[in-house]
Each structure stands twice: as C-alpha cells, then as structure tokens.
Chains A and B, each alone.
Chain A
Amino acid sequence: MTVLHRVESESGVADTATVTAERHSPLEHRVAEFERSAVHGPRGVRLAEEPFLTQLDLRMPPSGTALRAVSEELGLPVPAANRVSGDERQGLLWLGPDEWLLVAEEGRAGELLGVVRSAQQGEAGSAVDVSANRTTLRLSGPMAREVLEKVCSVDLHPRAFSTGHCAQTLLGRAVAVLWQVGREPEYRVLVRCSFANYLADLLLDAMAEFLPG
C-alpha cells in the first residue's frame, strides 16, 4: 500500500518479522578479529560490537512539561549532565542541555517513539529514530580505561567517570558517545556507522599493547 500523505515516518523501524532482506552491521565482518584481539586476565581488555540497539534522539526544553512527561512515561528519571538514568536495557543519556539519547534493546524504536511522542504531545520537542545511525562497540576489561585514555581526552578516572556516566566526545578523530556501563570497567561506545571501522582499528591498535608477548 502506498500512503502518500501518511508521512510521519517510521520507515526505519517497521516490524522486522516480515522482512526477507538481511540486515548488516558495520562491524559484523570483524567478529573473529575481535576475538583474536581479546586479552584476558588482570591486564585484559576486549572489544565487541553490539549492533542494532534502539536509539532515539530526544530534544526538549530542559524546563518544560514535556521532559517530565517523557521521563514519567519511560520510568526513567531525567539524568544530570553527562549521566545516564536507567541501565543497559533501557537508558536515558544526557547529551546536552536540551538533548538526550534513549538507548534500548534491539527492535523497540517504533514502540518507544510512540511513547515519547505522545508524552511530548502539544509541547515543543522532537523525537527522532537514530537506531541505524550508530552502532555500538563494547570495550571491557581491567585495561579498558587505559585503552581509552590513549584516544580520548576526557578524564576517565573512577573519581571523575564511573558507571552511569556518559560523554559525547572525540575518540581519536571520530565523534562518539562514551557510556560506562560497568565497574570492570566496561564501556559502550556509540559511533556513527561510517566511523565504526576506523574506531575499531583505533581501539584494536591501542589494545595491542596488552596482547601477551
């Protein structure tokens, strides 16, 4: 069916059950390489891709009623600057004074877009599906912070950055959203798909120091 005027687009987020085409993530061909590069033990660090996470970019006035409504509907408190409320399954990341990124498990964009937009109804603000815009790298292991410190100028010391903290920053020459999800430490790095291979190269290069012998 062609709907010329039903335009509020959900194009990226339709039910995938009926789709016969293959979905590809930017780093799917590097799984084996990531496994080879993994270092275990007290000086260990590992890299993996977590593709297809649901991501919605939310913009709203920080003081308006829409923000409160969205926060209530999602069951997530409004995070402070550079913090995340919620958890890995559903987290709200502060990206700027009027910008948040809702990250959830794969395949929830349509549903969450509905929730957010209805909460925003009649107020200023936007909610845009950006799930396919970025992929997610997961960097974990005792040396993960050491690795990030080679490519990122944000202070990642536990006193300054710990679980539940996030930052939109540069890793090498790529913009990324850095989110610490665990104490080990463990990070999610959300990066635009076209930069994913560069970022993987950069992180693998920085990890090489910890490869045994």
Chain B
Amino acid sequence: MTSSPNPHRLNASVRSGRIDRARAIDCTVDGRRVRGHPGDTLASALLACGITEVGPSIHRGRARGVFTADCTEPNALVQRLDGCPEPMLPATELEIYEGLEVRTLSGVGWLSGQRDTAGYDKKFVRSDVVVVGAGPAGLAASLVAARGGARVMLIDQHRELGGTLPDGQAHVSGHPATEWVGRAARELAENENVRILTRSVALGCYDHNYLLVAERRAEHLPVWRSSGPRQRLWHVRAGQVVLATGAHERPLVFADNDRPGVMLASAVRSYVNRYAVLPGREGVVFTTSDSAYATALDLLSCGARVPAIVDTRAEPPARLVEQVRAAGAQVYPGSVVTAATGEPGVTGVRIAGLDGNGSLTGTPVEVGCDLLAVSGGWNPAVQLFAQSGGTVRWDPVVAGFVPDSPGGRSARVVGAARGTYDLAGCLAQGFAAGAEAATVAGFRVAPPAVPQVDGDRPVGRPRPVWAVPDESRPRRECTEHFVDLQRDATVADVHAATETGMRSVQHVKRYTTVSTGVEQGKSSGVNTIGVLAETLAASSPGEVGTTTFRPPYTPVPLALFAGRTRGPLYDPVRTTPMHTRHEQAGAVFEDVGQWKRARYYPKNGEDMETAVLRECAAARTGVALQDVSTLGRIEVVGSDAPVFLDRVYTNKFSNLPVGKARYGVMCGADGMVLDDGVSLRLAEDRYLMSTTTGGAAKVLDWLEEWLQTEWPKLDVYCTSVTEQWAAVAVVGPDSRTVVGRLAPELDVSAEGFGFMRFAETVLRNGVPARVARVSFSGELAFEVNVARWYGQALWDAAMEAGRDLGITPYGTETMHVLRAEKGFVIVGQDTDGTVTPLDLGMNWAVSRSKDFIGKRSLSRPEMLRADRKHLVGLLPVDGHSLLPEGAHLVDQRAPRRPPVPMLGHVTSSYRSAALGRTFALGLVSGGRERVGEVLRAPVGGTDIEVEVTTPVFYDEEGVRRDGAAQG
C-alpha cells in the first residue's frame, strides 16, 4: 500500500477516538476495499478512507453523501451482501466486521430470495424501571433507580453507553465525561438487578408500559462467528418508564443542500471525537443555534480551517463568537447559506444576510470549503413518548416539539428528549426521574446532588429557518431545496401540495411522500412542517402539528417478529400414544386442528380411494380398528351434574342410568348445533362427556362459561381428561370376537353387553380398561379406553387379537364414509353454525319436556320455516359421479344464467364400498319435502343430476349395530 488507507483518520495524539487502532478490519463497499478499525461504523470507515459519496438519490439520481452519524441517515443506506442479504441498513449504524460486504443503494434495497438462516428469538421480562437511552440523563436515572434496589433495564441503541458524551468534550467533576460514563457503566454492570441492553432499539412503547425492544446481538459479527440468535426481540413489561431518548439534529433547507459534503454539525463532531475522523479540511458551519459552535471548535482543534460560521441570529452569544474568533474562524451573524456550490461534492457556499422578516439582504459572498456542517436546531426524540399516548406541543424557546407536560400516562421524559440540552440539566432531570420512578415502583430513593459539570449551556435562543429563500426563484420553483433527501422531496413539492388545496400535514406527507422513508420523518418531518406553516401563513409549526408517530422506531426485519415460531415450532403437532404404530403402518396423516390423525393406510401403493374402499369393506364385513384417542373428554362431576347436562344438551341426561351411554347434541344460545358426542354416566354424580376432536377446548370453555357466569350455584365441576385416556374403536361384525379376546373377563355377548352400555374391566395384558358399546358406523362396535400411557399396548393387543380375522386399521377418511352411509353428521362439516338439530332431522334428540340452551331460539318462527335447509341424502343419478363437497344444488328448471336460485349445497361426498356407488349428504331448502326430486349440481361447466333421498343409505333398520346381520 503506497499511502495510508485512512487519509482522513486523525492522529491519535489529536483525537484518540473510541476505536481500536491496533486492529484493522477490511470490508468491501461496491467492490472497493475499505479499511477501518473495531469501533468504526461503515460510515466512519468510509469517511476515514476519504469516501464521502454514497449511492445516488432515489428519483433524481443526484449525488449524495454520508449526512448523519445516527439512525436518521437518509442517504448512506446499504444492502448487506455477506450472509443473508439484508436491505436498507444505515451505514451510520452498521458496525464493521471482517468480511462485511455491502452495496450502496439508491433509496431502495431488495429482499433476498435466500432463506434467512440467521436466528431470531424473543425474551419476555419484567422490570420495575425501564430507561430508554443511555446518555447522561438515562444513565443518571438508571443509577439512582438501581441504587434504590429496583430492577432496572437500560436500553440503548449504541455499542457504548454515554449517548452523545463520547461525541463531545464535556467534563464531569473535572474529568472527561467519558470517565463518568465508564464509572456509571461499571456500577450498573455490577448490580445484579440491572440489565443493560446495548445495540438495542426500543421499537415501541405501548399501553401499560409495555415495550418492544430489538436487540442486535450478532449484527456486528461475521455470520461464521456468530452463535446464538442474530437479533432478539424483548417483550418488556415495565413498572415505570423513563424516556431519555435524546434529540435529533435538523438539517437546513437551501439550494443544493443535498450535495455530498453537507453534513449535520453534530455528525461532524461525532466523526471527529468518537471515530477520530476528519470529514473535511475546510468546514463551513451553518447554524441556527449555539450547539454548532462546538463543531467549529472541534474542527479547528483538529487542524481544519473554518472559513465561516454562518449564524441565522443577528446577535449570537458573544462568548461563543469570541471563542471561535480566537480560534481563527469568521462569524457571519444574521446570515444564511443560500446555496451549496460545486458538483458533485461541495466546493463552496454562498452566504447572504437575512433580515428580520426572513428576506435575503445584501450581495451574496462565496466562501470555499469541502465540508458544510449544518444545524437547523434539534428535534427532541418524542416518538416513544407519543406512541405511548403522550401529546406534544411546539416550544418556541427550544424551537422544537416537546412532550406536553404532564401528558403521556406514566412515561417520564428527561433530558434532550424534552428539550433540555445542557449537561447539568440532563443529569438533574435524570436523577430526579430515576428516583421518582423507583420510588413509585416501591423502592424509595432520593436523587443525589448533581456533580459539577462544564457544559455548553445554551444561552442564546435559536432562530430556526425552515427554508432559506432562493436568491432568485420563488418557492414553487425551489426544486433543489430538499426537505426530504431520501424521498427527493423539495420545497417546491410541499408548495405544490398546498396549491392543490391540502392543508393537513398528514395529507401533505402522503402527497409528497415526505417522511415515508426509513428515517420516518426523524430528519425531514419538522422542516416540512415548518415550510408548510410558512406557506399556509400559520402562526407556528405547532399550529400545523405533527404526523402520527407509530412503531417501530427504526426499521426491523419481519423475521424478528416471527422469532422461533417458524418451521417445526410454528404450531404444536399433537400426536396420540399410538402415533408410531400408524407411521409404521404407512398411514397418510391429516391435520385435525393441531392433531395429526391417520387419514388412511395405503397398502402396496394404493391410492386413497382404493385404500378407503378396502378399509370400509373390512369394517362392514370383518373387523377394523381406529385410533380415537383425539376425541375430547370431560369429566363432569357434582350433585348437580345431571341438571347441568340436561341444560347444555338438547336431550335429557338426568334419566340416563349409571352404566349407560347416550348421544347428545349441544346448541349455542342461538339454537345452532355447537358440538355433539356420547356421554357416559359413571355414577349418580359423575359423567364422562366426549366431544369432537376439534371441539374439545371450545366445549370446556363453553361449560365453564355457563357454570361461572350464569349458574355459579350449581355443584358441578368439569375436568378435561382428553389425554388421560387412549382409545380405539373396534368395528365390524367380528369386533365382538376381537374384544372378547382382548378383554377375556368381559361378557361381550349381545345379551350380556347391550348397545350403549359400558363396563370396567381388565384386559388380558392386565391393563384396566373401560369398554363401551358405541358405534359411529352403524356396525357392531366397541370403544376400548385405557390410561394414556398404555395406548400403544392397547393398539398392539387389539391388532394381535384380530390378526387371524384380518383386522384392518382405518383412518378418518373411512370413518367419514362409514358414518355418512348411516347419515351421521360431523359437526363442522355437515353443519356450519347456521344449522339446528331440527334442520338435521334430529327431533328425536330435542327434548320437549325440559329447558336447554338454545331451546327458545328453536321455537322462533324463522326456525320453523318450511324452506329451511334440511339435511338430505344425495345420490348422483349416474351412480358414479363424485360430487365435489361444496357444490351448489339448483332446481332442474332453474335458469342457466344468473341469478340462479340456489337450493342448497353438498356437505359430504364419497364413494361407498357397501353401496357400490357414490353418494353424498347435503343441506337443501325444504329438503325433506323434496325426497325423490332430481336436482342439478352444476360442476365445471356440466350438470350432475342428483336425486334427493333420506340421509340414511345403509342398514336403515339398524340391525347391524348388534352384529345381527353378520354373515
């Protein structure tokens, strides 16, 4: 290397900076190698290398340069290329690491098609006091609150604590302020009740002091070096919140104010003091207040020239003027920079006088420079305060929007975030707020005395200028006066918005796109409001007001919100204790809620249709087996349990004898079917209710709701026992033999064990079991229940007991066919929340002699209309067409063109092995009166003719359930 790779790096004797000069880091920017040191951001490394210019602007392709040193950066946005490409990262915030590779952007990045393999996770914590911002005010608040014993969480965006103190030259108690910061950081780190999150952005502050914080854990590391999550989203519930979020410096608006080399005055200080980088050798300072004088002094102390300090104020504080003059700078009071000259980078400025009315005076003079440091004043960072419900007001003294005291629920705002810009004031407010917050949170503590500081106490009032008048053009033609660098929006654009009649800042924002970039108005917002106020002749920016502050505070990858909730952890997959056996049997699974249920068990490459026909045939002619462990089960216990079940089921359960089972239907208060299932009476005061697989949680909630809110006096307790039990349904003419072998102590004969009875027994393998004779297929069938941990043993024993009989495992698809052949409905498939038990033809299950939930609704005239949709059977006339579920049904004489009156739709449709044809169930208007009619189902351009039938297709007499039809 012939010359220094960092020509703009200050000698360590001039500024040590917060960088590690002993180590070098090489990264690649637009294919060029850029060398920096640990501690550098990409922006400081670029500037150290003498690279000021970054990607051209989004719409107009104008040259742009690094403009800030913080998250308000509008220009220096880059796309990270190493690791998983990530768009729109501000170079001013991006810490460099070995191997970092970026491309500069023109306002738009791109999402990578690559899968983001970086880890993102979450953490949920509480804290008595949360302090956002670790500048002097935030540190002070944290110190005091922690001394009081409170659990404290301190959140800061940056790598280091101290806020802007490392950017400046202030002293505390006679020592450099960074030493005070170091001591504070150590004290906090040693306190086990304090959690410090650096590189962390409080994205949002919500009701009840709920905060979201994005922590960059490994962003500053190369991918290969990072273990653990790259970013972490903290969900923080705070007792008290102290917002010490600081302030952002405003740009100034004048002709060609977007040239590379124009930079915020505070950013210049930051580069000089924090990063030991001199961004220019001849720096003009253009300011509206005191703070930029420090920038001039910093430049001068580093050997740079400051040919001009242009101050809008006619009488800047004399002390400051003397100081900078003594150091060699010339002050232009009551003046403005009317234009930056040079292209692409700044080579000079034009300076003119500004009179009391804001008009230019005198003849502009030209001054040469390669850096123009601008300070349009400061915007307190009120974003989080406003998000949490606080209102802001315009403060003419500090020329900024500040929290409207008291405002903002319980968030305390301190320091620059409320317009306090002197160090002593920040410390005092921080100590007071920390003590107050801890005390309110239950940890009484008094604020300490504020240490002696030498600070740049602002003495002069700022004189903001929203848009410097052009030397010749009127406002509507100020197309090079940029108010939003990222959106290429100008004073002319704002003017055009007002000329179309817009008055609201919200409208102007959307019309001009000002403040819609990643900086979200942090740098462009208030200048736009100021320009708008002037254009509309409003009395102050406060009259125009702000746009709404919304989270997130800075952009955040969506993957962070997903956290670990992706892939296998997206949603629990629930399996039964027999799941391994289903897998071994080659089952194809279907999702039923969160459950994986075996849908069918293909053999030798069978498709679903063939497998299901085979499984159905086994159930109807031999013996078949299904895992029914997913059914919901609730024990309902108490002396009032019979009364309670009478109220929640449409049919009666109080008269159910102990040892017997009954099918029941539940309705909502609207009379619509809610769920169904079989309940067993275990004892006088004890029932075991079963629910549908998907309805288990809903039904338990439903029962609890009525017990807790309507009938608290009933002695009834419900306990979910869904997973206490594992169960199989053994179905088919041979099921009696199989169950007899399985449970040798049980009398399984038709006489000894009638339909809808159940019994306790011990299986041959010694496992206690409850066996019930219930059937969802119309066949002779038994449901065998054992403790969950014996589930697999039960499956194995049943398979073994039926091996010689060809026992066939069947899945949910076969179960659906079998039940549909019998016209048994599935709640949620054949019903949709608009179907009553009467619509289903289940009058037999609706008691007339007792009250139940939904009963009154069922007697409303609407419910009794003859044209309500009834459950019917549907037989395609050709015998083989399979109706799609959901297909509409229309009258044969119905017109072919819309509007076509719909009579109903198909709810379930299958091929039947037993019937040797296709069949379906459906809901049809006045369906029971249409039995025998032929309707049309228009499907894919053709019509399928279907005959309406009763919904029972198989064994209408119901003889098979006792095994009588065997053989």
Contact = CB atoms under 8 A, between A and B. Distances in A.
The answer to whether A and B belong to the same complex is yes
Contacts of B124: 149-150, 152-154
A25 B151 contact: no
Among B125, B229, B576, B767, max chain A CB count under 10 A is at B767
B12 interface: no
B768 A14 contact: yes
12 contacts: A2-B746, A3-B759, A4-B757, A8-B682, A13-B768, A23-B793, A25-B789, A124-B639, A133-B721, A194-B594, A202-B564, A209-B227
Interface in A185-212: 192-195, 197-199, 201-202, 205-206, 208-209
Q: Which secondary structure characterizes the binding site on chain B? A: mixed
B235 A153 contact: yes
B862 interface: no
A4 B766 contact: no
A89 interface: no
Contacts of A76: none
A134 B788 CA distance: 9
Nearest to B769: A11
A19 B762 CA distance: 9
Given A7-B659, A205-B569, 8 more contacts: A2-B746, A4-B759, A13-B768, A128-B721, A132-B787, A194-B576, A202-B569, A209-B121
Contact of B122 (A21, A98, A150, A154): A150
B573 A197 contact: yes
Nearest to A208: B228
Given A11-B760, A20-B765, A152-B124, A209 B228 contact: yes
Contact of A150 (B121, B763, B770, B787): B121
Contact of A201 (B228, B568, B638, B746): B568
Interface stretch (B241-249, B722-730, B845-853): B722-730
B767 A21 contact: yes
Interface string A24-35: 111000000000
Interface stretch (A67-75, A78-86, A136-144, A155-163): A155-163
Nearest to A17: B766
Contact of A128 (B719, B746, B770): B719
Contact of A1 (B595, B719, B745, B797): B745
Closest 6 CB pairs of A and B: A21-B793, A126-B637, A19-B766, A59-B717, A198-B572, A194-B574
Given A11-B768, A192-B723, A2 B791 contact: no
Given A2-B746, A157-B126, A126 B717 contact: yes
Chain B: interface size category:
35 or more
Contact of A7 (B151, B719, B760): B760
Interface of A: 1-14, 18-26, 51-52, 57, 59, 98, 124-126, 128-134, 149-150, 152-155, 157, 159-160, 172-174, 192-195, 197-199, 201-202, 205-206, 208-209, 213
B658 interface: yes
Contacts of A197: 573, 575
A195 B788 CA distance: 13
Contacts of B759: 2-4
B123 A149 contact: yes
A130 to B, nearest CB: 5
A213 B227 contact: yes
B792 A22 contact: yes
A213 B237 CA distance: 32
Contacts of A149: 123-125
Contact of B724 (A14, A59, A130, A152): A130
A128 B683 CA distance: 13
B715 interface: yes
B761 interface: yes
Interface in B553-575: 564-565, 568-569, 571-575
Contacts of A51: 789
A5 B658 contact: yes
A133 B229 CA distance: 34
Contacts of A173: 565, 571-572
Nearest to A9: B682
A48 to B, nearest CB: 17
A4 to B, nearest CB: 5
Nearest to A160: B126
A132 B723 CA distance: 7
Interface string B111-135: 0000000000111111000000000
Contacts of B761: 1-3
B724 A133 contact: yes
A25 B122 CA distance: 30
Given A4-B759, A7-B760, A24-B792, A194 B723 contact: yes
B577 interface: yes
A172 B787 contact: no
B766 A20 contact: yes
Contacts of A6: 760
A194 B722 CA distance: 10
Contacts of B792: 22, 24
B467 interface: no
Given A8-B686, A126-B719, A157 B658 contact: no
B785 interface: yes
A67 to B, nearest CB: 13
A140 to B, nearest CB: 20
